[in-house]
Structure 1
């Protein structure tokens, strides 16, 4: 049964050793996009790790496509976060302060004093957010991350899928969703096949020669 259901068994030490020596490391699009969300130290660590694994780092075509389509939005969203958060906090501060309007004549609640404390907290918070904004990486830094990642992965990218392959993907996706078969199951609610696309390209590469000859050709 072990041969039929290998996923339910813990690999032996020898199997783990072979796995680490021969496997491909395939980050998904989110792992790559996180490079524009992490702090500079974490980003550097991830890139260094990928660099150390470089002979066996490979990505499906769809991962590369999704990454290039979204990285600017991710980077810009982080840049916009300071102003958005400041506006939202100011709005919440006004609401919080307004809660005391009906208690201006209360035996023990000093409404005016509480409003002053709320105002002080909001101002201190906004000052910290502004300080963080000034320390945010420059746009040039984001492009350096992009260029380093691009050079690191190089040509280790899956081939562009044909129309026939995409049609097969959609057919397989519908079958999986109808039968609640992962991966990609959660994408059913979103009306798309994101996770299945990654699976599709990976399965294609693995089918072409034991262990993924297409992937290996792409990264050598």
Structure 2
């Protein structure tokens, strides 16, 4: 008879076999999350390391200092090291090109403005000549918009715009030539990892892995990496899968007590994340969790850099200023923007550090008929303590069709309540804390602690609306499997 799997030994076999698929996905509030930071193996994807070249100098230093808190637990697959060393120059060149293109585009727009001013003057002069025969007025306008005069005025704007672009170059603190042997970022990363870097797979192993990726996994869309199958060569297409195979091989040789893997990546494409309908949220593919558990008897957690650095602050007491955290968010969001079909997803972790777009929470407030002045003040507040409520209200109103999301509006994956046999984390409150008249399915529901606090501070009329939204969201998520 098969042994019970994980800590679910008393559950039916069906629940054991598909445990990874039946879990809601990792939450920023998971009780077990801290162990991945304090005891696990931490693997940073190439895009996380290359992001170091995107930060301003001050933020880069804080991020590197925060990563030093994980020293001894970092491990770098050979594939990541290869992509990192080869990708540094193109990352710097891309930034330099973007700033140069911006300067060129600014100059083009100012030249277009100059042309428009001259054309506008000519139009007025033509009307003066046709209807008023006013040569003195025409001469005055000609003098006002003489070439030297227009250029002098526009030059003020040109110099100010140039000053800001030059400041961006200065704040970055890395010259293009620094992507060579004297690269200070490379030196810091090398110091962080020490000898904890995977060896290069031999040609036979590499060939077998490539064949498995291209002949079996990619055609069947087995994660990770199948979204890259159209790249120039099989070797480039299989980068994520080669990383994955290295990770599995490394972890399966570790002592059982060390077999926790925290994988950090900006990549949230469909070959890493299961794209889900309803709230628009997604989760790392359960099949990845299941494969690592099956092949290496190890637990897996996948996080984006904003979640990860939030965890470093929480569990390892690293100091990261709010400005630095905001820059981590921006760089991560920019990575998502470059991937067609993806957008920023606000979770419990990121909600604590990001202000909603101005007026969006109030629009959500009004869309469901909330009325109390206290709750309106919370929706309009700039206080970080209100961000969770504001983001939840923004997300739930779009999820339930109470209002249409804007084109650039982030997706929100925050639930105020859930229907399940187990709570998302130990802090969640059982539905029985509310009376039968207030909450249906009390015996199979769990309520987020922040939402319970919100209810207790809300007048009865709006309290009823909030409970209704939370209950409908929980039921919608249950039906959609979110």
Aligned to 1:182: 223
- Summarize deviations over 1:31-68 as a string: whole Å, max 9, x none: 11111111122212221222111111101001011111
Q: Does 1:126 align with 2:162?
A: yes
Structure with the bigger percentage of helix: 1
Aligned to 1:198: 243
Which among 239, 252, 255 is matched to residue 207 of structure 1? 252
Q: Does 1:5 align with 2:19?
A: yes
Cα separation, partners in 2 of 1:7 and 1:147, compared to 1, 3 Å? farther
Which among 47, 55, 59 is matched to residue 30 of structure 1? 47
Cα RMSD for the two superposed structures: 3.5
Task: Give secondary structure in 2 for the equivalent of 1:46.
Answer: helix
Cα separation, partners in 2 of 1:17 and 1:30, compared to 1, 3 Å? closer
User: Separation in 1 of the partners of 2:121 and 2:197?
Assistant: 66
> TM-score, normalized by length of structure 1?
0.76
Which among 180, 202, 207 is matched to residue 162 of structure 1? 202
Cα separation, partners in 2 of 1:95 and 1:187, compared to 1, 3 Å? farther
User: Separation in 1 of the partners of 2:221 and 2:56?
Assistant: 37
Contact 1:79 1:136 in 2 (8 A): no
Which consecutive residues of structure 1, in runs of 5 or more, have no partner in the other structure?
Answer: 214-220
Structure with the bigger percentage of strand: 2
Q: 1:12-23 maps to which residues of 2 (within 5 A)? A: 15-16=32-33, 18-23=35-40
Return 67-76 or 91-100, whichever deviates more: 91-100
**Number of aligned pairs?**
212
User: Separation in 1 of the partners of 2:172 and 2:59?
Assistant: 14
Cα separation, partners in 2 of 1:118 and 1:165, compared to 1, 3 Å? farther
Q: CA deviation at 1:69?
A: 0.9
User: Separation in 2 of the partners of 1:207 and 1:136?
Assistant: 40
Contact 2:56 2:171 in 1 (8 A): no
Contact 2:55 2:172 in 1 (8 A): no
Cα separation, partners in 2 of 1:50 and 1:91, compared to 1, 3 Å? same
User: Separation in 1 of the partners of 2:230 and 2:155?
Assistant: 42
Q: Does 1:73 align with 2:99?
A: no
Task: Give secondary structure in 1 for the equivalent of 2:247.
Answer: helix
Return 71-80 or 193-202, whichever deviates more: 71-80
User: Separation in 2 of the partners of 1:189 and 1:99?
Assistant: 46
> TM-score, normalized by length of structure 2?
0.38
Cα separation, partners in 2 of 1:198 and 1:177, compared to 1, 3 Å? same
Contact 2:56 2:172 in 1 (8 A): no
User: Separation in 2 of the partners of 1:22 and 1:107?
Assistant: 75
Contact 2:57 2:171 in 1 (8 A): no
User: Separation in 1 of the partners of 2:107 and 2:98?
Assistant: 14
Contact 2:57 2:172 in 1 (8 A): no
Q: CA deviation at 1:151?
A: 1.0
Q: CA deviation at 1:149?
A: 1.4
Contact 1:25 1:58 in 2 (8 A): yes
User: Separation in 2 of the partners of 1:157 and 1:149?
Assistant: 11
Q: CA deviation at 1:182?
A: 2.3
Q: CA deviation at 1:23?
A: 1.6
Task: Give secondary structure in 2 for the equivalent of 1:199.
Answer: helix
